């Protein structure tokens, strides 16, 4: 029987990846003047890495009367040294404008994931008849 992927699981996995990426990018910025430091980034987020199977996105039902999403196991995502690095004479490869651009993109992606989560919760509340807050 194929496993089903819950939308909550995907959003949570994406948010966890974005949080870890923001931490890695923050370390890059902190080491902008460290001789010999090469910037790092995470492996790109994929649905396969998040446990997606291509099955329909349906809530998990534990009983006919109620819904409960399964617990999310947040995996540690692998980081890697950036391949596209221009190394300065000090051996440092951090390009601050590029790192700040990546941090901004990551923040915007996190805001989008949070917005999707809120809207999905709102749809579930409407479906079960709970008034919107």
What tens digit of pLDDT does each residue of 89-117 get?
A: 999 999 999 999 999 999 999 999 999 99
The pLDDT of residue 2 is: 41
Per-position DSSP letters for 9-77, written without gaps between them: HHHHHHHHHHHHHHHHHHHHHHTTT-TT---EEEPPP-TTTTT--S------EEETTEE-PPPP--PPP
Element (H, E) at 81: strand 79-81
Domain boundaries, the chain: 7-128
38 pLDDT tier (thresholds 50, 70, 90): very high
Residues present in the chain in total:
133
């Amino acid at each position: 029987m194929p496993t089903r992927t819950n939308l909550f699981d995907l959003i949570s996995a994406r948010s966890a990846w974005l949080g870890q990426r923001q931490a890695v990018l923050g370390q890059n910025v902190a080491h902008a003047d460290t001789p010999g430091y090469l910037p790092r980034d995470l492996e790109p987020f994929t649905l396969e890495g998040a446990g997606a199977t291509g099955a329909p996105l349906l809530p998990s039902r534990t009983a006919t009367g109620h819904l409960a999403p399964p617990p999310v196991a947040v995996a540690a995502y692998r980081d890697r040294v950036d391949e596209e690095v221009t190394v300065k004479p000090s051996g440092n490869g951090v390009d601050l404008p590029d790192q700040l651009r990546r941090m901004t993109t990551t923040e915007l992606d996190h805001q989008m994931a949070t917005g999707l989560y809120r809207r999905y919760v709102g749809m579930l509340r409407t479906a079960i008849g709970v008034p919107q807050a």
